[in-house]
Amino acid sequence: MILTAVQSQTILNPQLEIAGGRKLSGELRVSGAKNSALVLMAACLLTRDTIRLRNVPPLTDISAMGEMLRSLGGTVNHTADGIELNGNHINNSTAPYELVNSLRASFFCIGPLLARMGMAKVPLPGGCQIGTRPVVEHVKGLKALGAQVTIEHGVVTAVVPGRGHRLTGGRIYLDCPSVGATETLMMAAALADGETVIENAALEPEVVDLAGLLLAMGARVRGAGTPTITITGVERLHGADYAVIPDRIEAGTFMLAAAITRSHLRISPVIPEHLGSVITKLEEAGCTMQHDGIGLTVKADRISAVDLRTQPFPGFPTDLQAPFMSLLATAQGTSVITENIFENRLQHVAELQRMGAAIRMQGNTAFVEGVPQLSGAPVQGTDLRASAAMVLAGLAAQGITTVRGLEYLDRGYAGLEDKLNSVGACIERVSANPALVNVAA
Ligand code: EPZ
């Protein structure tokens, strides 16, 4: 019985049941980028006008960011394919702990909130499953723009001293190319008095997408996508209507679904420049790919081992390390995978081993010896991308795999099982405790 979308929302303690070993065929549609949409939503704090964002993915993280903005006095309305945001009545510069704690990206509001209000109190986002997730660079950069920043009782309080509450442009050097710090500081600098230069900035496409929105709002930003971003502050920013880029991590996950099932799929839309390292690694592993200007076709018959080292963009993305490991667990030969970005992003290894994967760990490196066949088993998604990795492994495994941890999966993938079922997968969202199923009438 395939539950309707409404019913699937009322499943208590949900898990995915995956019947593996099926070939996929057809086309998978890529949604808007979660890691872009979240920061573009925060930018609405910079103006009193309305921001219309299109191609926004329907994810729990997006809803959480909406709640954050509402708690600050913003209005957030969902439209047919996106969100309409208005920051005219922002009247609160204190972000609630429970919202920041549930969604790390909401910490990025500190930059625009400070630029708009002259003050911001935002709880530290804290660590999560994959690492401690510090915000040292964000704080250091705000101080370089003239803010007084203190951290007490787990709350970051930033204040612009003196009259006028306006930040002052300055030179910032990031010790590491932090995506969130780059984005936070771009937004803060957009309304500052004078010029800001961010050195060692993150190069990710989501940073470039934020620059695109800021420019559409009347900001003066140069160099996004390069290590040096220059922002000349303006007095005020106006509204904009802006489309979010496609989600390169979802697209990469779909490419890996084709590869792990040895299938032929078309995935669109895909911006190849956003996935250069992933495309290269999949070709190295034996996939053939063709981009037709909008979408990418992926064909896979035989998969060989490749080595991966996660790096900041344009290096191999840490967000696809776990999904790619599922593929390499079924490859011919032994792959060496090194996670260089987060200190605790290899927890999916134990779950893959439950499915028969032959993986040996040494520090932040996994030695993955491909096996002819994974076997279905009950497994747990330990973070967003690890949950996706377990779904991919289930597609290839012999027998039934049940994946728990959908509270992580639903943060980053909109209707993953529906999309995969539309190209031939057999996945059902069920309650882990059938007696608890509360199916809507
Ligand atoms: C963004 O997180 C993404 N999240 C992450 O995606 C992604 O994995 C990450 O960038 C790296 O690409 C969003 O955009 C909402 P960072 P962010 O600051 O900004 C260290 C997903 O699955 N660091 O670039 O928090 C940090 O510890 C999520 O969609 C410092 O040392 O990442 C980490 O090792 C997971 N000091 C590395 O930099 C700092 O002050 C990258 O972190 C800040 C970061």
In whole angstroms, give the CA distance from residue 278 to residue 272. Answer: 9
- How is residue 248 written in tokens? 């390169």
The tally of CA atoms less than 13 A away on the side-chain side of residue 226 is 7
In whole angstroms, give the CA distance from residue 71 to residue 91. Answer: 9
Pocket test for ligand 1, best of 31, 34, 35, 407 (most atoms within 8 A of CB): 35
Q: With a 6 A CB cut-off, is 137 part of the ligand 1 pocket?
A: yes
Q: With a 6 A CB cut-off, is 385 part of the ligand 1 pocket?
A: yes
State the average pLDDT over residues 59-66: 94
The tally of CA atoms less than 13 A away on the side-chain side of residue 234 is 15
Give the pLDDT confidence of 296-314 residue by residue, as tens digits.
999 999 999 999 999 999 9
Q: What's the confidence (pLDDT) of residue 102?
A: 86
* Ligand 1 atom at shortest distance from the alpha carbon of 130: 35
Q: Which fold has domain 34-243?
A: UDP-n-acetylglucosamine1-carboxyvinyl-transferase; Chain (3.65.10)
Fold: same for 5-31+247-440 and 34-243: yes
Q: With a 6 A CB cut-off, is 140 part of the ligand 1 pocket?
A: no
Q: CA 101, 213, 55, 410: dihedral to nearest 10 degrees?
A: -10
- How is residue 63 written in tokens? 């809803």
* 243 to 81, 106, 179, 213: CA distances (angstroms): 10, 20, 20, 9
Confidence band of 441 (pLDDT split at 50, 70, 90): very low
Give the pLDDT confidence of 22-40 residue by residue, as tens digits.
999 999 999 999 999 999 9
pLDDT beyond 90 at 240: yes
Full-model pTM = 0.95
The DSSP call for residue 175 is: S
Residue in 117, 24, 60 with CA at minimum distance from that of residue 415:
60
Ligand 1 mean position, distance from CA 125 (Å): 12
> CA angle, 414 as apex, 212 and 28 as ends, to 5°?
85
Ligand 1 mean position, distance from CA 328 (Å): 24
> Where are the domains positioned within the chain?
5-31+247-440, 34-243
Residue in 285, 286, 283 with CA at minimum distance from that of residue 307:
285
Pocket test for ligand 1, best of 248, 278, 341 (most atoms within 8 A of CB): 341
Considering the candidates 44, 128, 287, 426, report the single residue annotated as catalytic: 128
Percent of residues, the chain, with pLDDT higher than 90: 89
Q: What's the confidence (pLDDT) of residue 81?
A: 81
In whole angstroms, give the CA distance from residue 295 to residue 251. Answer: 10
Ligand 1 mean position, distance from CA 348 (Å): 19
Q: Where are any strands of DSSP class E within 285-397? A: 288-291, 296-299, 308-309, 334-338, 358-362, 365-369, 378-380
pLDDT beyond 50 at 68: yes
Q: With a 6 A CB cut-off, is 179 part of the ligand 1 pocket?
A: yes
Q: What's the confidence (pLDDT) of residue 434?
A: 64
In whole angstroms, give the CA distance from residue 22 to residue 180. Answer: 39
128 tagged catalytic? yes
Q: With a 6 A CB cut-off, is 61 part of the ligand 1 pocket?
A: no
Give the pLDDT confidence of 72-117 residue by residue, as tens digits.
999 999 998 899 999 999 999 999 998 888 898 999 999 999 999 9
State the average pLDDT over residues 262-284: 98
Q: With a 6 A CB cut-off, is 127 part of the ligand 1 pocket?
A: no
Q: Which CATH class is domain 5-31+247-440?
A: alpha beta
Q: What's the confidence (pLDDT) of residue 128?
A: 76
Give the pLDDT confidence of 334-358 residue by residue, as tens digits.
999 999 999 999 999 999 999 999 9
Give the pLDDT confidence of 167-182 residue by residue, as tens digits.
999 999 999 999 999 9
